[in-house]
Chain A
């Protein structure tokens, strides 16, 4: 199977409004920009994107940064999650068709490495072991040898979907979260879990290490940079953090700003926290999603992130997206730049100008934003941090000549210095 590369990026325009025709750094156009693979930050190639550098102002007093649209790769099926190979030349994609694909950035060539029985929803490459771990709506985690293109292990982690899966930075653990939203009360409060919502497995052997309880559906999970803690959050905005050494819950709190109860069309809950990321120092936790809506199925809640000092008791909200920065739409991916000084949040645009934006990690100030023209579901910085890969999907269309037009996309952005 081949992905299709589009070298033009008219569809992925700059949303923070430079004048048309403005020069891009180095005079390169988006159409010609090439992914840079050399390490350009402390997070060198060969390590998972993370940094223990203390966050410093990214652009407050110095030159600005911007995301410059680069290569686009179209896939015949939606991409729900991506990760990058340390060589910076390959991406791994988890897709609607259940496929786990290796994507050659240069050519767009796709190689299927594995297959789930339903949507593949999570993907992580572990450089030290050279293994790829995927998760799916079939409830399984699968270990794949990407070089051989063979599955080496399959573990049923859940009876229901794996909403999100993450591998710890030290590559020793893999965490997956699940849970079906079922009516649990007159107002359709979520019913109690039918199985543990959070599973932590040994990334090397697949052995189940921990099962943690939460209120389903649990839609997001993240490891702390030191691999000691995991955070998981759900539909109701409830966040829990466990110590994966002791198995004890370390913190738990609820933010009401990601969930709404339907008033207009229906009486039930919608929303939740769709992705989590610890700050590079591990002291704070960021969550992203969408603010409450009047019509719960309009998809037009506020694009939002919040950060919490989770080790304080009670957890303290330390900041959130500035009101003027937020448009409307569901935000599904949040991830720090390898240098730790900024983070990107991406999702779908309902109203406003952008669907992916770069924020200063210290101040929370928006640095730059773009409209990816797709529902963006995953984000990964290529090693070195010079390039950002976003994945997602556009609408499916009627078949033409017996074939559904491509609706999956991977879009690369160069992180460019301006001014």
Chain B
């Protein structure tokens, strides 16, 4: 059941008392209504930080321009990098922000900033976007995890360090990600062949009893979180097919491309279609091209172009685009100037990202940078503006105060930073 609908009292207590949770969802009219109102978010996390110049904000006339040219898009006067021809044809369904300006130029700090939406305030750990959305958009009883992280790369330098950290922060581990993809296969989610349903239920009842007893005896929030996580993993048994690349239609695989990022984005589409509120797709940290930028971007950018195109098109064709927010970003941008290795270095001063779908205006291009892309011209936006935009687009109150115990005063978006209104529908 939709947690927010429940909390808002959208369902009458009488109705709830008459039906089990499963019963609620088996009522077609209710299920359809919930599905209609369910919001989703897919974050294509371009970790390592993609260059704005080869994607959303090309500067073909600049001396700093690389070998890639620019191409016109569906929006008159707006050009993308030449490696994004498919996105150029759906530019009228995207919104581009070309005036991001943040303050962290090192990966780990910047990943934290763009994943959590605010600078750290130790010892408190702010939950990541995925955890907040899992809490706000998640179902109480959905077998599909409320936060799925698809990332095939077990390493990733600073991203690896981030991944090993605390995603859910003060919300608790139950809002952390279930990780799958590549090396992280969902093993052991299939019931053993010789185990009957009755056996399984009895074992589960015993595990639940013992865990609850331990929680009560020791007042352990950790045990409580672990119990929640176990329950979630147990739920995975019923939706394991959604994670199985072997069960993806070959035609879909063909369209999204053979690389892991495309395949996992395809899984994200299927998971959202199956009801997942938040799916984050990452692929290690491939965009950090201090060297070999031209050599790698000629492959990476066409791949992400293809993926974005098919994801947006598929969501639209399935009637899911209006309820699914797609965010495409990294943790900062790249320098206008090429280094001696012909790569671009970290650059948080002026960079771009793209969004589409739920709550987002179609075909908006917001903000601008100067002729060489060195600085933002006009209003700049930071991570707080971005998070306010995401929450607003998904119908979540951006400035709600966190009420978890034992934390200082925190808000979902700090400093009452306004959303990027120009891209809100």
* Cβ contacts under 8 Å, A399 to chain B: 372, 374
CB distance from A121 to the nearest CB of B (A): 9
Cross-chain contact of A395 among B156, B283, B300, B340 (Cβ < 8 A): B340
Helix, strand, loop or mixed for chain B's interface?
loop
List residues of A (385-412) whose CB comes within 8 Å of B's CBs: 393-399, 404
* Residue A74 lies at the interface, judged by CB distance under 8 Å to chain B: no
A297 adjacent to B69 (CB under 8 Å): no
CA distance A375 to B342 in the complex (A): 9
* Residue B341 lies at the interface, judged by CB distance under 8 Å to chain A: yes
* Cβ contacts under 8 Å, A97 to chain B: 63
Cross-chain contact of A267 among B152, B258, B262, B340 (Cβ < 8 A): B152
Interface size on A, residues (CB 8 A): 45
Cross-chain contact of B292 among A117, A118, A299, A398 (Cβ < 8 A): A299
Q: Which residue of B lies closest to A219 (CB)?
A: B295
Cross-chain contact of A398 among B257, B302, B374 (Cβ < 8 A): B374
Helix, strand, loop or mixed for chain A's interface?
loop
> Could you count the A-B residue pairs with CB atoms below 8 Å apart for me: how many are there?
123
List residues of B (284-318) whose CB comes within 8 Å of A's CBs: 284-286, 288-292, 295-296, 298-300, 302-303
B299 adjacent to A119 (CB under 8 Å): no
* Residue B64 lies at the interface, judged by CB distance under 8 Å to chain A: yes
With A183-B299, A263-B155 known as contacts, the answer to whether A297 contacts B292 (CB < 8 A) is yes
CB distance from B385 to the nearest CB of A (A): 26
With A118-B69, A161-B67, A299-B291 known as contacts, the answer to whether A182 contacts B284 (CB < 8 A) is no
CA distance A298 to B289 in the complex (A): 9
Q: Which residue of A lies closest to B183 (CB)?
A: A267
* Cβ contacts under 8 Å, B283 to chain A: 266-267
Binds B, one of A28-36, A40-48, A184-192: A184-192
User: What sequence of 0s and 1s flags, for each residue 176-220 of chain B, a beta carbon within 8 Å of any chain A beta carbon?
Assistant: 000000100000000000000000000000000000000000000
CA distance A295 to B343 in the complex (A): 15
User: What sequence of 0s and 1s flags, for each residue 149-191 of chain A, a beta carbon within 8 Å of any chain B beta carbon?
Assistant: 0000000000001000000000000000000111111111001
B340 adjacent to A374 (CB under 8 Å): yes
Q: What is A's interface to B at a CB cutoff of 8 Å?
A: 77-78, 97, 117-119, 137, 161, 180-188, 191, 217, 235, 262-268, 270, 295-299, 330, 348, 374-375, 393-399, 404
Q: What is B's interface to A at a CB cutoff of 8 Å?
A: 48, 63-64, 67, 69, 152-153, 155-157, 182, 257-260, 262-263, 283-286, 288-292, 295-296, 298-300, 302-303, 337-343, 372, 374
What are the 9 closest A-B residue pairs judged by CB atoms, nearest first? A266-B286, A299-B291, A396-B337, A183-B259, A265-B285, A181-B299, A395-B339, A266-B284, A137-B67
